[in-house]
Each structure stands twice: as structure tokens, then as C-alpha cells.
Chains A and B, each alone.
Chain A
Amino acid sequence: DTAVSQTPKYLVTQMGNDKSIKCEQNLGHDTMYWYKQDSKKFLKIMFSYNNKELIINETVPNRFSPKSPDKAHLNLHINSLELGDSAVYFCASSPLGEGELFFGEGSRLTVL
């Protein structure tokens, strides 16, 4: 059983399209995150949710909208995709905001 699973693993799309990435964790954790890893492999936090409530929202364009229907799911919707959105997006979860993080396998987004 995969602890943190993301779909799709690969996503290739045109500029201007809208796309979503889904994330689910079966660890019973309260906190979930979205991270972006750019071409230089640097990981940066985008959002954090605790029990379906947004607690961290870094400087991210409002084209990015996270949605947490329940504490086991955190989806990322991106509107009007731009070339610079191409990256690997990682979902993660932890038991508490300061607990050990568990990552998904990543979703590689390529915008053409």
C-alpha cells in the first residue's frame, strides 16, 4: 500500500489549459502539503493544510488553488498554465505540523 499517492505521475499540456493533480494519504495524518521542485532540484513549500484548513500559503500565484475535501486528500488545481509552471510537484503528509514528513512520488508537469 502506497502511503502518499499522487495522480497523475506525468502530465503534459498546453499553455493556457487548466489541470489538477490529486493526492491521497492513508497514514491518518492531520497535515498535508504541496511542494514544488524546480529544474534546479530546489524544493519549495507552496501550501499546507491541517485537518482541511489552510495554514500555510506561500507566495504562489492565485492560479494555483488547493482543495482539501477531507483530511486524507489534498488536490492542486492550476488555472491558465504557463511555461514557468513546468516542474515536479510533490505532495507530503505529516502527523502534526512539526512531525516527520512522508512524500509522494511526485507529479511531473510539462507545459508546452
Chain B
Amino acid sequence: KQEVTQIPAALSVPEGENLVLNCSFTDSAIYNLQWFRQDPGKGLTSLLLIQSSQREQTSGRLNASLDKSSGRSTLYIAASQPGDSATYLCAVNSNDYKLSFGAGTTVTVRA
């Protein structure tokens, strides 16, 4: 059974600082890994999707890396802004078509 862990559970940084969010998973037999953002009371917005054959994906200030063999992914957010405050969720799509979610990292960017 796939277990997904996100560390830290919460993070508070001043505006402009870079953010580093960690995700680890127990079973390396995956199709892909997806990072989502969830604002309070809202649905999930897809940020980045990394296929199992890829090492990283970039979108604007966001960069996600994947090390499948060690079961790790890291989401980097450069030059954080107050609008980046949200919960960030990591989800691993395993070979059984099930998407397993981590508990999320709640980020607060202070102005």
C-alpha cells in the first residue's frame, strides 16, 4: 500500500523567501506524481505533473523534482508572495491507478 508523507506540516516565511516543500512515498512503482494547491474552502488546483520517467517539471516560479528510486519529490517556490499562502498537496499515482495523497503542507507567506 502506498504511503505518502509531507514534511513539514506547516511553514511560515516572510515574503520573498524561497519555499521548499518535501514529499516522500514508500512504493517507487508509480506512473506519476502531482502537486496540487488547495485554498481554504476550495477545490484542488493542479500545479505540476511529473511523469515517472521525468526528473523535474517547471512552471513559472514553481519547480518540482522527482527521485523515484529514493521515493522523494520536492516542490520549490521561488520568491514567495502572500498569494502563495495555501495548502500544498502531493499525490502519487501508483500502478494500480490509485492516487494517494499526503496530508499537505500549509504555507503562510507574511507580507
Contact = CB atoms under 8 A, between A and B. Distances in A.
B76 interface: no
Contacts of B28: none
B101 A43 contact: yes
Interface residues on B, range: 20 to 34
10 contacts: A40-B103, A42-B103, A45-B98, A45-B99, A56-B97, A98-B31, A98-B97, A101-B34, A101-B44, A103-B44
Contacts of B91: 43, 101
Interface residues of A, number: 21
Interface of A: 33, 40-45, 48, 55-56, 90, 92, 97-98, 100-106
A102 B47 CA distance: 10
Contacts, number: 48
Contacts of B100: 45
B32 interface: yes
A41 B87 contact: yes
B89 interface: yes
Nearest to B51: A98
